């Protein structure tokens, strides 16, 4: 009895490490960076914790959304465009509204974008066109729509919405509790859906081998639509978080384009295989926070701002190569 349990424990642990090693490594790296950052600045307290948490929220949501789609074997270049769309709709229509209306609008935006991007998923599945082509096209449509809804930066949101994402009605210097909750709850919910439901496991199956999944009786179309719908909803959440951070809407194309690229960087750094079927959203979360933290760390180190971006890119490349090497070594040894 005990012997069997022990034996199982012995095999379970390496498997756990093999499956989650990368995510654990990224979290460890984040922990190290946080510890290091706290020694670089004179004071590390609630202000800094809140600052990092809330400023990371948009990228975290977007990275989780991108991770789901990539796990299911796709890639979505339109998430930044959807973020813009959510951002401008919220900023334009929430301004001066009471909390009830603002919350209703928030739900409508999340549901609306989920439906919209689910539809894109269906189009991709039916047309057989590559994900990258379809979503590149839709990214321009969403960005154009955003500019049409809000031609120049402006608008606003309810103070309670700002409090929800930033911990303070003014957006700065609040408590860490609400942004912390807004980080943990959606991520945890998505994680459980992916790992604990038939639908979630189906996404992994479809992403890892589409034809095998179909032959095994999985509804491939449903998986595609679900993955893109989740992605759309999370991009909507990212847009809401961005309005809460700044208190205004920003329809500029570059904002969305940067967000898309950063979401892909976070997914790759977070250990989600771009080939699909492997990885977890947990790693992508830590990777998103790391990407956000690089700027304050590099500036606290006094690195010439003109070199910061190069270092940022080199760091991502370096981490990826170490990860690739680790995978090769592991495969060779087994």
**Is the CB of 151 or the CB of 324 nearer to another protein?**
151
**Is the CB of 5 or the CB of 128 nearer to another protein?**
5
**Token pair of 284, please?**
């992508």
**Is the CB of 92 or the CB of 210 nearer to another protein?**
92
Q: What's the chain's length in residues?
A: 334
Between the alpha carbon of residue 181 and those of residues 137, 176, 271, 330, the distances in Å are: 35, 9, 24, 36
CB of residue 326 vs another protein: minimum separation in angstroms?
Answer: 20
**Is the CB of 48 or the CB of 97 nearer to another protein?**
48
Return d(Cα 232, Cα 237) in angstroms, integer: 9
CB of residue 46 vs another protein: minimum separation in angstroms?
Answer: 6
**Is the CB of 40 or the CB of 212 nearer to another protein?**
40
**Is the CB of 84 or the CB of 227 nearer to another protein?**
84
Q: What is the largest CA-CA distance in the chain?
A: 69
**Is the CB of 47 or the CB of 148 nearer to another protein?**
47
CB of residue 290 vs another protein: minimum separation in angstroms?
Answer: 12
Identify the residue whose tokens are 């190290």: 32
- Footprint of another protein on this chain (CB under 8 A)? 8, 12, 16, 20, 27, 31, 34, 38, 40-49, 51-53, 55, 58, 151-153, 168, 170-173, 176-177, 179-180, 183-184, 187-188, 191, 195, 242, 245-248, 250, 252, 254-255, 258, 282, 285-286, 289, 292, 295-296, 299-300, 302, 305-306, 308-309
What is the distance, to the nearest Å, from the Cα of residue 236 to the centroid of all Cα atoms in its chain? 11
CB of residue 178 vs another protein: minimum separation in angstroms?
Answer: 10
* Partners of residue 249 on adjacent β-strands: 154
Identify the residue whose tokens are 């709709």: 89
CB of residue 74 vs another protein: minimum separation in angstroms?
Answer: 24
CB of residue 115 vs another protein: minimum separation in angstroms?
Answer: 26
Q: Which segments of the chain does DSSP mark as H helices, in order?
A: 2-40, 46-71, 79-94, 99-127, 131-149, 159-166, 177-196, 198-208, 210-215, 220-246, 253-269, 281-300, 305-333
Q: How far apart are the two ends of the chain, measured CA to CA in Å?
A: 28
Return d(Cα 83, Cα 63) in angstroms, integer: 12
Report the alpha-carbon angle 216-67-139, nearest 5. Answer: 105
CB of residue 7 vs another protein: minimum separation in angstroms?
Answer: 12
């Amino acid at each position: 009895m005990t012997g069997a349990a022990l034996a199982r424990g012995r095999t379970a642990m390496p498997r756990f490490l093999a499956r989650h090693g990368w995510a654990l490594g990224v979290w460890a790296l984040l922990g190290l960076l946080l510890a290091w950052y706290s020694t670089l600045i004179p004071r590390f307290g609630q202000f800094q914790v809140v600052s990092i948490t809330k400023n990371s929220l948009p990228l975290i949501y977007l990275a989780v959304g991108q991770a789901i789609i990539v796990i299911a074997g796709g890639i979505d270049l339109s998430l930044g465009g959807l973020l813009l769309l959510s951002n401008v709709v919220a900023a334009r229509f929430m301004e001066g509204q009471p909390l009830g209306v603002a919350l209703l609008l928030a739900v409508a935006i999340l549901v609306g974008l989920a439906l919209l991007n689910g539809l894109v998923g269906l189009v991709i599945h039916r047309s057989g066109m590559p994900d990258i082509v379809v979503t590149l096209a839709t990214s321009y449509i969403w960005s154009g729509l955003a500019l049409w809804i809000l031609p120049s930066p402006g608008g606003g949101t309810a103070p309670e919405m700002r409090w929800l994402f930033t911990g303070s009605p003014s957006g700065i210097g609040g408590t860490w509790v609400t942004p912390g909750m807004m980080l943990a709850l959606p991520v945890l919910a998505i994680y459980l859906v992916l790992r604990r439901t038939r639908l979630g496991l189906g996404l992994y199956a479809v992403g890892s081998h589409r034809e095998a999944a179909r032959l095994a009786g999985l509804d491939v179309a449903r998986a595609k639509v679900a993955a893109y719908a989740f992605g759309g909803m999370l991009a909507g959440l990212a847009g809401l978080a961005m309005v809460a951070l700044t208190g205004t809407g920003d329809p500029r194309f570059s904002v969305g384009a940067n967000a898309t690229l950063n979401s892909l960087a976070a997914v790759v750094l977070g250990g989600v295989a771009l080939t699909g079927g492997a990885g977890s959203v947990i790693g992508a979360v830590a990777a998103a926070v790391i990407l956000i933290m690089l700027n304050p760390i590099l500036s606290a180190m006094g690195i010439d701002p003109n070199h910061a971006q190069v270092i940022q890119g080199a760091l991502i490349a370096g981490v990826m190569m170490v990860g690739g090497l680790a995978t090769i070594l592991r495969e060779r040894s087994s």
